[in-house]
Amino acid sequence: MLIDTYDRVATDLRVSLTDKCNLRCTYCMPEEGLQWLGKSELLSDDEIVRLIRIAVTSLGITEVRFTGGEPLLRPGLVSIVEQCAALTPRPRMSLTTNGIGLKRTAAALKAAGLDRVNVSLDTLRPDVFKTLTRRDRHKDVLEGLEAAREAGLTPVKVNSVLMPGLNDDEAPELLAWAVANDYELRFIEQMPLDAQHGWKRDGMITAGDILASLRTRFTLTPEDDEARGSAPAERWTVDGGPHRVGVIASVTRPFCRACDRTRLTADGQIRTCLFAREETDLRSALRSDAPDAEIARLWKVAMWGKKAGSGLDDPSFLQPDRPMSAIGG
């Protein structure tokens, strides 16, 4: 069991498969100049599967989310999913992706055992998409979403970040589109995880801003806390249901007290929080032929030291040295 000193138990493992991405979203990455991890630094497919096996069979992990960078860029992704689906007990498995490669891979991922996907899409306007991502791939993302739904990777969740002066007026349109296409929309407050460290609290689009905008067009009924559990998103039913919308307010409404996550980076480091500045190295243990029991022990020690919260409200807060693309969203 992965328990910390605040009696939180981690059952949800986020696994970054690569630090590379085929978009350059302004709130995540600079246009050029990021130093990618070398091949020898990345965990191999077998190393990833071994760590997931240890987490599932020895440490109580029940959910695995594959992230990046962009996880669809990992050549061995389908095989990794297939091997993890064969574990006993079988974890629930999902994928967070920009959607560009889903048209090509959705059916194979479903056949391998993937349960569902989260797709990032911040705008319905192709020109705004190009400005936000620095790439002209809007159509590919929409086609990827359709392919995921048709393959049965449901519920298909769409993650959207609103940025001042770019897409901050799109919340109602995004929700109407999600309802019409049977996607579950989740807005995410912009977090201080950009590579260029340009994030500023002042001027960011908050959960309060998003909800006020949505309520100009929709009636939102909040779900109770019991239904939310440890999920990061607060959720509301839309116009009486059945569709729902969520808001992940990591900055203004942190949910650290209910956090049940542990994170594995693409280069084999354990992180207890997205905003942590410390990591625990499991890659070295793997490559020095440490037994499973020793790797599990290192993982438990790392999680025991998890802090009470992200520290975002502390005036001395410092962004992590590594951006989201390197540590997994």
Q: Indicate the annotated binding residues.
A: 14, 21, 25, 27-28, 65, 69, 96, 120, 157, 191, 256, 259, 261-263, 273
CB 230 within 8 A of CB 259: yes
Partners of 12 in the β-ladder? 63, 261
Q: How far apart are CA 203 and CA 47, in angstroms?
A: 42
3-state helix, strand, coil in the chain (%, to 5): 35, 15, 50
Q: How far apart are CA 14 and CA 249, in angstroms?
A: 19
Q: Distances in Å between the alpha carbon of 194 and those of 90, 236, 242?
A: 34, 29, 35
Binding-site residues for GTP? 14, 65, 96, 157, 261-263
The residue whose two tokens read 């630090």 is 19
Binding-site residues for S-adenosyl-L-methionine? 27, 69, 120, 191
Partners of 316 in the β-ladder? none
Residue 268 Ramachandran class (φ > 0 left, ψ -120 to 50 alpha, else beta): left
Q: How far apart are CA 177 and CA 163, in angstroms?
A: 19
Q: How far apart are CA 9 and CA 115, in angstroms?
A: 23
Binding-site residues for [4Fe-4S] cluster? 21, 25, 28, 256, 259, 273
Helix (H) or strand (E) holding 213: helix 207-214
Write b or e for each residue in 143-157: b if 16 or more Cβ atoms lie within 10 A of its Cβ, otherwise e: bbbbbbbebebbebb
Q: How far apart are CA 184 and CA 245, in angstroms?
A: 6
Q: How far apart are CA 3 and CA 272, in angstroms?
A: 11
